[in-house]
Structure 1
Amino acid sequence: MNTRAFTLALVIAIFAMFMVHTYVEDQKTELVKRYGSMTSVIVAKKDIGEFELIDDSKVTIISVPQRFVSPGSFKTMKEVENTIATVPILKDEQITKPRITYPGESTGLSREVSVNKRAVSITVSDQTSVSKLIKPGDRVDVLAAIDYSGRRDRQKIMTILQDVRVLSTGRNISNNLPVIGVQTPKVIKQMKLNTYSNYNSVTLELDPFEVQKLIWLYQYGESTPYLILRNINDKEKVRIEGTRLYDILGEKDQVEAKKFFQDKYEKR
């Protein structure tokens, strides 16, 4: 074996490695100078909906150049424990301070109430709330029996309100938002949001005048109003005439009923 040739080849190889290493380090230095050093940030592993609780199944840690770190970003998982997304966060987006909050007054029911609207709760039963299958976020109509004369033939069932948003059922708020005073666990587990819960009251979102209508029905009405569930995408409000006894009876029975009530009330 030619020792001289081997030594020369080894020197050339070492020199080449040195040059490659020098080039790589120069490039790394240039990249660090241009974009900053690598740092850890928390990003979404999948799409996170508004008001969703954040747990380790939804976020992860990655390294990015300092220049690409968003203002208000987080570096450790502990910083985002027990937090709630205040806006939708897309997969791979960085979790930042303006996008999350902690359970408390700002995440209570008042945050759910639209501007110029009011939240009002009513007592319900299985019969008056579709077997209590109504959930937060659903849309309902409100029907009630109206009796302003004491005469059976003039009593009506009327649609009082249409396309009303349900804010909560019992203490279950829209999007399962934690309510004031509820302590969240140290480690948040995944929650099943699409389950039904037992409740005795429903909170509706109405404008101030509609609130007065509803309270009048409960204060002075003859019977408890009914909540009628409608399709979540059906926003159309239509004019609906009230239903009287004559609307239910056939033609022959209508004639007999009218004669009966005339004899009873008008020929005294």
Structure 2
Amino acid sequence: MNRNALIAAMIMALLGGFLLFAYLKKFEEEASGGAPVKLLVARKHIEPGTVVTDDMLATRVVPAAYVETRAVREAEKARVVGLRLATPVQAQQTLLWTDLAITADDKRDLSSLVQPGMRAVGVRAANDDKSFALMRPGDRVDVIATFPIEGSTQRQSIVLLQNVMVLAVGLDTTAIDTSKQGGSPSSQDLLLNLSLTLPEAQLLSLAAEKGRISVALRNPDDVRITDSLADLNSNLLTDSKTRKTVQDFRKTPTGPVKLPSAAGAQ
């Protein structure tokens, strides 16, 4: 009887140890940013116009949570070797699809740019808004919704989403500027495809049905998220106190970064 109890206790201890190990491993993986992903990096500085060769590339392991949509994975190495660079790549910098001079025939399918768990969601510009044509895949934007307040003549503006990646502009999935071809932006250029989660896509769909969607282009190095942004009503346009609160936001740490004064400036 004691022997059976001892064996049972040992089995339970082993099972408990295994479960604890599995839990700790999963916890460590989640805490570190998810499963490791192998990305391509430049061994040395590469100038624009250079044809990418195998010996120019190395591999870096990055947690999945920190992998940018544009990053080229090690498994895609064969697809980039032989292509020319459109932009300079610094030593040890991750190679991005937007760094490559990809021709129209070589452009990537939009579906291949969508990260697992994300969705490509289209946003169309208003008829009088041509700014979408100046944006490039890989840019980051904030999405703003403006719609009427029920039972009132006032309108309301809310920051719907922040720091959203642009996957495509019209049919263009590369960062190469084709606007030099001249002419007015086509209707295709006025459609942005954004990288969103499914709940974010639902939120955007509801906002588009209710009012007008605008996007605000970010500096590529600015990935800050501003918390607790207040919704704004159109009555603040005639309310000097509320308007000043908005204007004073520029002076806060979450507002634009203040650049150092030029030498000798007063």
Q: Which has the higher contact order (CA 8 A, sep 6+)?
A: 1
> TM tier, shorter chain?
0.3 to 0.5
TM-score (norm 1): 0.46
